[in-house]
Amino acid sequence: MPRIRTLGRIGIALLILGLFARGQSVRSIRQGTEAEIKAAFLINFAKFVEWPSETSPGNDFTICVAGADPFGQALDRAVENEAIENKPVKVRYVPRWQNDCRILFVGASDLDNSQFLAGVPPGVLTVGEQPSFLLDGGMIALVMEDQRVRFEVNLRAANRSSVHISSKLLDVARRVQK
């Protein structure tokens, strides 16, 4: 009776899976998906960054996402009702830097980070997802550590680009390259 045996095994597998539905652990630690946490970081960074005053085109504050998009809808949701520099925040998914991007987020992809960073003018905050993003000249890298999202800052790159990063942000950074 191979068919019945097989069905029995599927049943056992489902049972194994089902056991865990009841066995959820009680945790007091705050949790979120990687996408949600990274989106929240991105919104938060804006509170600690001053952009040079001469670069403020457009009526919206545009966050551009290039490379592989890690957010799904998490970023779109996070920017609802948000304002930066008194402008409503808008998210655009772009192949590379475009004129109205104030923050350029570079998702980890098979392409080299520097391809996305080449040609970005001063006054744009660049945020990436790999430790190597800073080596490539990016300003803030979101990195995973012990199941948490932390960030590192390349202060030299920010200064070079006239983006001022508050010391409060630097205090929380896991590492600051000066």
Partner 1 sequence: MLLTTHSAVGQSSDSPVPLKQLSLEELSQVQVTATRKEPTTAFRTPAAINVITTDAIRRSGASTFPELLRMIPGLEVAQMDSSKWAIGSRGFQGRLSRSMLVLIDGRSVYSPLFRGTYWEAQDTLLEDIDRIEVIRGPGGTIWGSNAVNGVINIVTKSSRQTHGMLVSAGGGNVNQGFLNWRYGGGNEVFSYRVYGKGSTYGPQNTPKGPDYDDWRMGQIGFRTDWKPNTRDSITIQGDSYGNEAGQELAINSYAAPYRTVVDANGFFSGQNIMAAWQRALKSGSDLQFRAYYDRTDRQDLNYREVRNTFDLDFIEHTPMGRHELSWGGGVRISPAEYFQTVQTVDFLPHLDNYKIVSGFVQDDISLIPNKVVLTVGSKFEWNSYSGFNYQPSARIAWTPNDKHTIWGAVTRAIRTPSRIEQGFQFTALLQRTNPPRFVRLVGDGGFTNEQLIGYEMGYRNSNKLGFVSLALFNNRYSDLLSVEGRPEVTETSPGPVHTVLPLLLRNGIQASSSGGEITNLVDLRPGWRVRSSYSLLLLDAKRQAGSIDASTVGQLEGDTPAHKVVLQSFFDLPKRFEFDVAFRYISSIPNQKVPQYATADVRIGRTLGHGLELSLVGKNLFQPSHVEYGGIPNGLVGIKRSAFLKLTWSR
Q: How far, CA to CA in Å, does 107 sit from each of 49, 50, 60, 85, 168?
A: 20, 23, 22, 24, 25
Sketch the per residue contact string, 121 through 160, with partner 1: x for CB under 8 A, - otherwise. Answer: ---------xxx--xxx------x--xxxxx---------
Considering the rule CB under 8 A, would residue 4 count as an interface residue with partner 1? no
Provide CB contacts within 8 A for 96, sequence distance 6+: 66, 115, 116, 119
Measured from the CB atom, the residue of 122 and 172 that comes closer to partner 1 is 172
Measured from the CB atom, the residue of 8 and 52 that comes closer to partner 1 is 8
Considering the rule CB under 8 A, would residue 6 count as an interface residue with partner 1? yes
Alpha-carbon span 48 to 24, nearest angstrom: 38
CB atoms within 10 A of CB 173: 16
Smallest separation (angstroms) from partner 1 to the CB of 147: 5
User: CA 148, 149, 153: angle at the middle one, nearest 5?
Assistant: 140
Measured from the CB atom, the residue of 53 and 119 that comes closer to partner 1 is 119
Q: Which of residues 16-75 bind partner 1 (CB under 8 A)?
A: 16-17, 20-21, 24-25, 27, 29-37, 39-41, 43-44, 48, 68-74
Among candidates 139, 71, 66, 50, which has minimal Cα distance to 105? Answer: 66
Measured from the CB atom, the residue of 2 and 54 that comes closer to partner 1 is 2
